[in-house]
Amino acid sequence: MAESSAYQTPEQVSIYVTPSAKERARAMSRIEGIEYAQLAMDAIDHFLGEGMLSFLVRTRLEVSRPNGSHFPPRRNLRSRSKTGVRRVLWPVQFRPAELEVLNNLVIDTGAEHLSTLVSVAVEAYLLDDDEATPSARSLVDDAVSPRRN
């Protein structure tokens, strides 16, 4: 019989988010008693439900072209942060069954890395327009607002 995910031993995963997203997650965890993994899964579920998760990933990974360029954006092959955007380690513990779902979403969205998948969702979910990464928030308009339950 397969072990229920509720009883699986969690595995720590290194996720890199902006300092403001990490602080907001820490505050929510303390105030609302929510685990980081639950917060991350809520963020991903939210943007999956909005049909926006793949868009957020693409926005993070594409390098835009200057205004007036005739060429489409290119994929950022190094998955580096945009200039001026600093990210810090945010350790999250996911259970094996959760990691399986997340790894499938990495493939489905083209995120390439688990950290990219989780961080784009968490940053967009937790941060106001002026705090979120400019590339994601400038394209995700009022139709998708950050959630703070």
Full-model pTM: 0.75
% of the chain beyond a pLDDT of 90: 60
Q: Give the separation between CA 82 and CA 70, rounded to whole angstroms.
A: 22
Lowest-confidence pick of 61-75, 83-97, 116-130? 61-75
CB atoms within 10 A of CB 74: 11
Name which residue leads in pLDDT, 70 or 53: 53
Residue 110 has, within 13 A of its CA and on its CB side, a CA count of 12
Encoded amino acid at 21, one letter: A
pLDDT, mean of residues 30-59: 96
**Does 37 score more than 60 pLDDT?**
yes
**Confidence (pLDDT) at 146:** 46
Residue 66: its H or E element: none
Name which residue leads in pLDDT, 1 or 89: 89
Burial of 10 (0-12, 13-18, 19+ CB in 10 A): middle
Q: Give the separation between CA 14 and CA 1, rounded to whole angstroms.
A: 30
Average pLDDT, the chain: 81
List the domain boundaries for the chain. Answer: 10-137
